[in-house]
Amino acid sequence: MRIGLPRALIFYYYYPLWKSFFENLGMDVVVSDVTSKELIEKGIKVTVPEICVPIKIFNGHVINLLSKNVDYVFIPRFVSIDRGEWFCPKFIGLPDLVKYTIEEAKERILTIDIKGKREDTCNWRNYRPLCNILHVSEKQLKKALKNASEYWHQFRQYSMEGFTIEEAMQICDNKLTRNQILSQRSSEITIGLLGYVYNIYDPFVSMDIIPKMRSMGVNIITFEMLKEEEMSRQLPRKSKNIYWTFSKKIHQSARVFMKERNVDGLIHVTAFGCGPDSIVGKMIELDSDVYQKPFMTIRVDEHTGESHLITRVEAFVDMIKRKKYSEKRGEIA
């Protein structure tokens, strides 16, 4: 059976888990093409205009997979992976949203509800409804989940060592070693790059921001490179919690970066039409005043031009480098 995985949204966090899980069950995993202008346009065409850009892109990826003759497109309904926290409503309604947007997808959506307190989502009860559809036993399902969970934790471990998601995947698949990756890095300044994985790791959406910043001599850190304990220490116990899981991670990591002396500045990449980011982005902006850290927001939409983004990033990086050298020379106290 051919299972399609849209290369969009939370794919950038859970792909190793899903790949391992389905392959352990003997399925062929088919991933949609890398995001392109044509793919986005197909998504925009079928999606309500007022929704956030990542959802339009997601629909483009579903359409792309349907053209690859997959039996099913896997679209889990992410509800909660931690106590008292939920996913953004668009994630909770995603399978329905696709079902009523793309007529041809209706009968080919493979969905389950992800609920519980495990970030690896691997509580077998979440996945049990797949047994009948994929014709596998509960025993096979549990074994596949166990292997997938181990593989995913290994991938997360590499991320927490400071490797980007792509690098962590390459190390997991033995395509590159840690040393090979590290030997190519050199950096003059460090920038905390904030944003959901689907905004900063989709090369079309972010316009390859990570390689571009690295070529400017910037060391990048992102939220998924931090340990959970380090992030959760950031918000005072009595402060009001952000209850969208990944928005909270972005906010907490921003606090870590603000306090960290080695981080020279922060960039927040956000998508046009994102509700949670309209709150979280403001909170980070206020924190940047308190901690006196250079901070910039880049808002991307389906029409954002590459030159516009790069000019802003270059100016920001340049400003931080000048500030750093002036500090070193004692010109700024």
Interface residues with ligand SF4 (CB under 6 A) are 52, 54-55, 88, 90, 196, 271, 274-277
Q: Is 156 within 8 Å of 249 (Cβ atoms)?
A: no
Query: Min. distance of Cβ 62 from ligand SF4 in angstroms?
Result: 15
Q: What distance in Å separates the CA atoms of residue 47 and residue 205, rounded to the nearest whole number?
A: 17
251 or 293: CB nearest ligand SF4: 251
Query: Min. distance of Cβ 179 from ligand SF4 in angstroms?
Result: 35
Helix residue spans in the chain (DSSP H): 11-24, 37-46, 53-66, 89-92, 94-99, 124-127, 130-134, 138-160, 165-172, 178-182, 197-200, 209-215, 228-232, 245-259, 275-291, 306-328
172 or 242: CB nearest ligand SF4: 242
Which residues are CB-neighbours of 174 under 8 A, at least 6 positions away?
none
Query: Min. distance of Cβ 52 from ligand SF4 in angstroms?
Result: 3
72 or 196: CB nearest ligand SF4: 196
Q: Is 206 within 8 Å of 300 (Cβ atoms)?
A: yes
Query: Min. distance of Cβ 138 from ligand SF4 in angstroms?
Result: 32
11 or 151: CB nearest ligand SF4: 11
26 or 275: CB nearest ligand SF4: 275
Which residues are CB-neighbours of 79 under 8 A, at least 6 positions away?
86, 87, 92, 113, 114, 115
Query: Min. distance of Cβ 194 from ligand SF4 in angstroms?
Result: 13
